Structure 1
Amino acid sequence: MASHLSRDGFAVKGFDISENARTSFGENGGRSFSSAVDAAAGVGVLMLMVVNIAQAHQALFEGGALANSAEDCIVVLMSTCPPGDVEALARDVNAQGRRFLDAPVSGGVAGARKASLSIMVAGDRSSYDECHNLFEVLGSKIYFLGERPGQASVAKAVNQLLCGVHLAAAAEALALAERAGLDTATVLEIVSGSAAASWMLNDRGQRMLQNDPEVTSAVDIFVKDLGIVLSAGSSAKAALPLASVAHQFFLAASGQGAGLADDSQVIRAYRNMTAGKREEKK
């Protein structure tokens, strides 16, 4: 994402805990730094793409990035985080005289590489307008959800609810085909071209049939994201039974050692439920 902005003519400084990421960014025209506080020095827009709200808080406050940014800096949180935590972080940022945008994205690694992310944004409208040209570089679809931080994170939770349930359902279906002794590649072709198809099935289905596919998004990401979905449901007093069941299967896959595997490998949890020998047909 940072490299796209740099190649589009923006002056971009960046920090990542990965030395390889910093080196790659430098090779793509950016200026990489060895700490968040140094990268944030004097910047007018501070974008965060981190794992969770704790990392965001650490970079901004314990790491000193916020205090070292420009006085009227706009902090743009682009990670998937609990809506309530995002609201609290926005208040903390505002208390330091800076502005805040809640701007989670959908599209994963592939969308980041292709600059085709869907970006959901909530916060002060004038801040959104100032950052719109940045969002246009990173994404193909940009949505403004309202002026209260946290609203975009709720929209992202709705998106992740569907993604997680669709992915778990696809894994369950293919695990059934596999258990019944069918050629799963043929079954996948059938359902991918029928009314049963979903984006997640079409994108993850082939990887479910592989033993160790490339990781585009890990099982543990959905453990986190569906946990956020359930938290959002609790806050809204909304029952989410399908999301809860899907969360359990991602937790099971993670607990069985597949947490860092591609999220398609949630299918392992289904396989492990019926790992015994099939009965011979009479």
Structure 2
Amino acid sequence: MTKKRVALIGLGSMGGGMARTLVKAGFAVHGFDVDADREAAFAAESGEAADPAAIADADVVVLVVVNAAQTEGVLFGAGRYGPEGIAANLKADAVVVSCATVPPAFAREMAERVGADRYLDAPISGGSVRAAKGELSVLASGTEEAFRRAEGVLSAVAVNVFNLGDAAGIGSAMKAVNQLLAGVHIAAAAEAITFGMSQGLEPGQIVSVINECAGNSWMLQNRGPHIVEGDYTPHSAVDIFVKDLGLVGDIARTARFSAPIAGAALQQFLAASGSGLGREDDAAVAKVYARNAGIDLPGSKA
């Protein structure tokens, strides 16, 4: 039986895990990245060369890039993937699964330009650890045919595939809701832990107790240990939430919707990024609170 062929563009913390999950699931996966070392390492694992010509034979093209500009550049920009991007060379029955966090209007535009049956608006959630385990949530919208073409790939990388509607843009709107909450909850967890430390509480004690109380959140459970251990190895970086909460703000302004809590969280991530912490784990937003309060966090000075 011929393996279904996948081209995955973007082998970072999320895309790399997804690509390896797809290989384990039996797909023939060509992985592409702007980082040549990542690309070569994955090619050695997958047995499939990072040859842009292979994209024309792919049944599914998965885009796990950073933002709308990169998505459009890969699809339609002149460069490595051809003079007109990958969209000009897709097989007739191929589908693009677009996983970046982008504005809903942009997702609708891409679906119109690529073709509704060939484009699935499919932002992802779950983090790098779940990506490596094939346990993501996919917040998807698109035509029934686009879902059908992407079905096997979606099932391999995710435990939850939400079919949110029959048109692109709905998935991206839901991802914006998720990122609003995620960013606010990370900032709130950092604020709560450092506030507790200002009152003489130990950060590990705060996390373990609140995990069993009504003030708990998934982000406190997940990011709290990073602060407790003083480990800011980036699983999702501060700058990701500068981008994503900025996007939430842009969408809200367009809708004339006031989102003051999201805006306050964004200011803390901006302060962290401006302090040189942009590439650290997003839990490093705690360092802003700690610095302002004169508190020493575990592992290093704020």
Report the TM-score when normalising by structure 2: 0.85
Report whether the alignment pairs 1:70 with 2:85.
Answer: no
Q: In 2, Cα distance between the equivalents of 1:27 and 1:254?
A: 35
In structure 2, give the amino acid aligned to 1:226.
L
Partner of 1:12, secondary structure, is: strand
Q: CA–CA distance in 1 between the matches of 2:117 and 2:41? A: 30
1:10 aligns with 2:15: no
Between 1:180-189 and 1:121-130, the stretch displaced more is 180-189
| DSSP 3-state at the match of 2:92 | coil
Alpha-carbon deviation of 1:39? 3.9
Deviates more, 1:155-164 or 1:188-197: 188-197
Moved runs in structure 1, 4+ residues, more than 3 A?
Answer: none
Relative to structure 1, is the Cα distance of residues 25 and 255 closer, same or farther in structure 2, using a 3 angstrom cutoff?
A: same
2:183 and 2:245 in contact (8 A); partners too: yes
Q: Which runs of 5+ in 2 are unaligned?
A: 1-17, 80-84, 297-302
Q: Which residue of 2 aligns with 1:166?
A: 185
Q: Using the TM superposition, give the Cα deviation of residue 99 of structure 1 relative to its aligned residue in structure 2, in angstroms.
A: 1.7
- 52, 58, 82: which is aligned to 1:43? 58
| Partners of 2:88 and 2:58 in 1: CA distance | 11
Q: Residue 79 of structure 1 aligns with which residue? A: 100
- Structure 1 segments unaligned to the other structure (5+ residues): 278-282
SS at match of 1:118: strand
Q: Residues 69 and 192 (structure 1 numbering): CA distance in 2 closer, same or farther, change over 3 Å?
A: same
Alpha-carbon shift at residue 232 of structure 1 (Å): 2.4
* Structure 2 contact 56–91 (Cα < 8 Å) conserved: yes
State how many pairs are aligned. 273
Q: Distance in 2 between matches of 1:245 and 1:24?
A: 40
Secondary structure of the equivalent of 2:213? coil
Deviations 1:89-140 (A, max 9, x none): 222222xx97211000001111110110000111111110221121010000
- Deviation for aligned residue 1:225: 0.9
What does 1:90-239 correspond to in 2, within 5 Å?
Answer: 90-94=111-115, 99-239=118-258
Q: Take 2:27 and 2:223, find their aligned partners in 1: how far apart are those partners?
A: 34
Partner of 1:280: none
Question: Which one-letter code corresponds to 1:176 in the other structure?
Answer: F
Q: Which residue of structure 2 lines up, in the alignment, with residue 52 of structure 1?
A: 67
After superposition, give the CA deviation of every residue in 1:17-74 in whole Å (9 maximum; x if it has no partner).
Answer: 122322332233241315xx43412223211000111111111222322222213321
Looking at structure 2, the residues matched to 101 and 74 of structure 1 have their Cα atoms a distance apart, in angstroms, of 7
Superposed displacement of residue 15, structure 1: 1.1
CA distance in 2, matches of 1:276, 1:128: 50
Find the partner of 1:26 among 31, 35, 43: 43
| Contact persistence 1:83–1:153 (CA under 8 A) | yes
Alpha-carbon distance in structure 2 between the residues aligned to 1:218 and 1:205: 15
What amino acid is aligned across from residue 9 of structure 1 in structure 2? G
> Which residue of the other structure, out of 109, 112, 135, is the alignment partner of 1:88?
109
Provide the rounded CA distance (Å) in 2 between the counterparts of 1:70 and 1:126: 15
Give 1:237 shift: 2.9
Pairwise CA RMSD: 1.9
Report % sequence identity. 39
Letter in 1 for 2:53: D
